[in-house]
């Protein structure tokens, strides 16, 4: 993803631009938003140079899976707890235009090639890899089906750099659909969209909007399907939004908790994955002061923090 100096993001929040017309920002009064600080503990402190810009993060087949973002090889890398790469999966016949997120269901792995920092892309897509085609070989090549999409409210493709509301770096699987969460460079909000899992091309209508007060870079739902985590940062301060007690896919309509992670200040936090139902793994690419690695946030320890009203 594009690197920016912190002041650019702060200034951009005050600059108006066109944005997707969607349902009004979620203003449910069901719960009072809470904020807590948490400490991210090193989990895999050593990742190889092949993953210096690790973007997505996934746990599958007792290994951790990631890839580099825009300009990287069209490859998935599987590594163990020591950070050693055990498998390399090349996706045949595609380019890594801007891979940003990864998710899975029982049968498939989905890679979000939808990074769109400048808002001009017309080839946004999700790559669908059938798990039945994976083997134990150290190096493999796998074909992918393509799920293409466009935003129904985007009629302008000439945004200035890092000003578009039509960027995205986060997707997760929930039920029979995929959900993406946008990255609005100007307003610090996210918009949710629902996408079928079948190959084809789709025109997406916004489901909901939530003011995350930052840039969303990752998403995941736990195995019990009752917790949604959105990873992001604001002015290079890492945070996680945790949504619980939601009904169906009304993710923003339940309980909301913002988890600030001060020890990841100046990190470029890019990928998130539930480790069980009560821990989150966060991957950071090589950036100012923090080299590429994976951290863990224990959600069960949050009760020891200091909660505050919004």
pLDDT tens-place string over residues 118-152: 999 999 999 999 999 999 999 999 999 999 999 99
99-110: average pLDDT:
98
Q: What is the pLDDT of residues 286-296, one digit of tens each?
A: 987 789 999 99
Q: What is the pLDDT of residues 232-280, one digit of tens each?
A: 999 889 999 999 999 999 999 999 999 999 999 989 999 999 999 999 9
pTM of the model: 0.89
Complete domains list, the chain, with CATH: 30-309 (2.120.10.30)
Question: What pLDDT is recorded for position 70?
Answer: 82
Q: What is the pLDDT of residues 170-222, one digit of tens each?
A: 999 999 999 999 999 999 999 999 999 999 999 999 999 999 999 999 999 99
Whether 4 has a pLDDT exceeding 80, the answer reads: no
Residue 200 CB neighbour total at 10 angstroms? 12
According to the 3-state scheme, what is the secondary structure of 194-235? EEECCCEEEEECEEEEECCCCEEEEEEECCCCCEEEEEEEEC
Query: What is the spatial order of strands in the sheet that 255-260 belongs to?
Result: 215-221, 227-234, 237-244, 255-260, 34-37, 308-309
The Cα–Cα gap between 192 and 17 comes to 19
- Write the DSSP string, 119-133: S--S--EEEEEEGGG
The Cα–Cα gap between 55 and 47 comes to 13
pLDDT band at 159 (very low <50, low <70, confident <90, very high): confident
> Which residues are CB-contacts of 18 (< 8 A; sequence separation ≥ 6)?
156, 165
- Reading the block at residue 260, the tokens are 């600030």
- In sign, the C-alpha dihedral spanning 281, 27, 234, 309 is negative
Q: What is the pLDDT of residues 8-29, one digit of tens each?
A: 343 343 333 334 434 444 444 4
State the pairing for strand pair 200-204/145-151: parallel
- Reading the block at residue 295, the tokens are 């951290």
């Amino acid at each position: 993803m594009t690197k920016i100096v912190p002041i650019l993001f702060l200034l951009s929040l005050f600059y108006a631009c066109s944005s997707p017309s969607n349902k009004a920002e979620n203003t449910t009064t069901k719960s009072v938003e809470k904020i807590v600080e948490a400490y991210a503990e090193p989990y895999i402190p050593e990742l190889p140079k092949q993953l210096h810009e690790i973007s997505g993060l996934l746990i599958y087949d007792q290994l951790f899976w990631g890839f580099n973002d825009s300009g990287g090889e069209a490859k998935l890398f599987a590594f163990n707890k020591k950070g050693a790469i055990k498998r390399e999966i090349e996706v045949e016949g595609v380019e890594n235009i801007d891979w940003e997120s990864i998710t899975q269901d029982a049968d498939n792995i989905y890679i979000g090639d939808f990074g769109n920092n400048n808002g001009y892309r017309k080839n946004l897509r999700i790559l669908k890899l059938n798990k039945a085609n994976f083997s134990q070989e150290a190096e493999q090549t796998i074909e992918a089906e393509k799920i293409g999409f466009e935003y129904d409210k985007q009629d302008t493709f000439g945004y200035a750099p890092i000003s578009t509301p039509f960027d995205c770096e986060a997707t997760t699987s929930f039920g029979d659909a995929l959900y993406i969460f946008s990255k609005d460079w100007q307003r610090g909000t996210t918009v949710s969209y629902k996408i079928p899992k079948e190959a084809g091309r789709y025109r997406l209508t916004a489901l909901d909007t939530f003011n995350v007060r930052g840039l969303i870079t990752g998403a995941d739902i736990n195995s019990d399907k009752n917790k949604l985590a959105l990873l992001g940062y604001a002015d290079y301060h890492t945070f996680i939004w945790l949504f619980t007690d939601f009904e169906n896919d009304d993710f923003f309509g339940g309980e909301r908790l913002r988890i600030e992670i001060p020890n990841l200040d100046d990190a470029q936090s890019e990928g998130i994955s539930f480790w069980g139902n009560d821990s989150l793994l966060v991957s950071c690419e090589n950036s100012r002061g923090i080299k590429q690695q994976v951290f863990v946030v224990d959600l069960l320890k949050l009760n020891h923090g200091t909660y505050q009203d919004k």
